[in-house]
Amino acid sequence: MIVKNEEQNLGRILSDIRDVVDEICVVDTGSIDSTVSLAKSFGAKIGHFSWCDDFSAARNASIALAESDYLLWLDADDHVTQEAAAALRGLKRSLDPGKHTAYFLTLLNTPVTWGSLGSIQLRIFPHMEGVRFEGRIHEQLLPSLKKTSGIRFVNTGIAIHHTGYADQSSLEAKRRRNLAIQLDELAEGTDSGHRHFMIAMTYYGLRDYDKCMEHIKEARKCSESEGWYLTSSFLATDIHLKQGRMNEALEEALDGVARSPRSGYMHYGLGMVLFGLERYGEAVQSFLAAQRHGFEVDGYAKPSDIRAAMSYSLGRALEKTGRSSQAAIAYRDSIGMNPEWPLPRKALGFALISGGKVDEALTHLEHAYGHGANEDVQVILALARLYRHAGRTTDAHAVYLKALGSFPDDLRILAATASTGIACGEMQHVESAIERLMEIFSMSTDLEIGSAEELAGLCVLIGQRLFEQDQSAAASAMAEASTTLDPRCWSARLLASDISRAEGKMAPALSLLQDALLSGAPPHEIETRMALLDPGSPS
- State the distance between the two ends of the chain, measured CA to CA, in whole angstroms: 89
How far is Cα 405 from Cα 401, in angstroms, rounded to an integer? 7
Whether the model clears a pTM of 0.85, i.e. scores above it, the answer is no
**3-state SS assignment for residue 46:** strand
Domains and CATH numbers, the chain: 2-166 (3.90.550.10), 174-222 (no CATH)
Distance of CA 14 to the CA centre of its chain: 31
| Long-range contact pairs involving 344-349 (C-beta distance under 8 Å, separation at least 24) | 344/308, 344/311, 344/312, 344/315, 345/371, 345/373, 346/373, 346/376, 346/378, 346/379, 347/312, 347/315, 347/316, 347/319, 348/315, 349/379, 349/382
**Pairing assessment for the beta strands 25-28 and 2-3 based on DSSP bridges:** parallel
Task: Return d(Cα 486, Cα 492) in angstroms, integer.
Answer: 9
Q: What are residue 220's phi and psi, to 5 degrees?
A: -70, -25
pLDDT in tens, the chain (539 residues): 999 999 999 999 999 999 999 999 999 999 999 999 999 999 999 999 999 999 999 999 999 999 999 999 999 999 999 999 999 999 999 998 999 999 999 888 765 443 344 678 899 999 999 999 998 888 889 889 988 878 999 999 898 988 865 566 677 888 888 898 888 888 887 778 888 998 999 999 899 999 999 999 999 998 877 778 888 999 999 999 999 999 999 999 999 999 999 999 999 999 999 999 999 999 999 999 999 998 877 767 666 678 899 999 999 999 999 999 999 999 999 999 889 899 999 999 999 998 899 999 999 999 999 999 999 999 999 999 999 999 999 999 999 999 999 999 999 999 999 999 999 999 999 999 999 999 999 998 777 777 899 999 999 999 999 999 999 999 999 999 999 999 999 999 999 999 999 999 999 999 999 999 999 999 999 999 998 887 555 44
Q: Are 413 and 380 in contact (CB under 8 A)?
A: yes
Please enumerate in sequence order all residues whose Cβ is within 8 A of that of 496, keeping only pairs 6 or more positions apart, or say none: 476, 479, 480, 483, 512
- Report d(CA 242, CA 276) in Å as an integer: 10
CA 75 to centroid of chain Cα atoms: 26
Q: Give the residue among 174, 54, 165, 187 at the shortest CA–CA distance from 115.
A: 165
Q: How far, in Å, CA of 257 to CA of 240, rounded?
A: 16
Residue 231, Cβ neighbours under 10 Å: how many? 21
Residue 297: how many CB atoms within 10 A of its CB?
A: 18
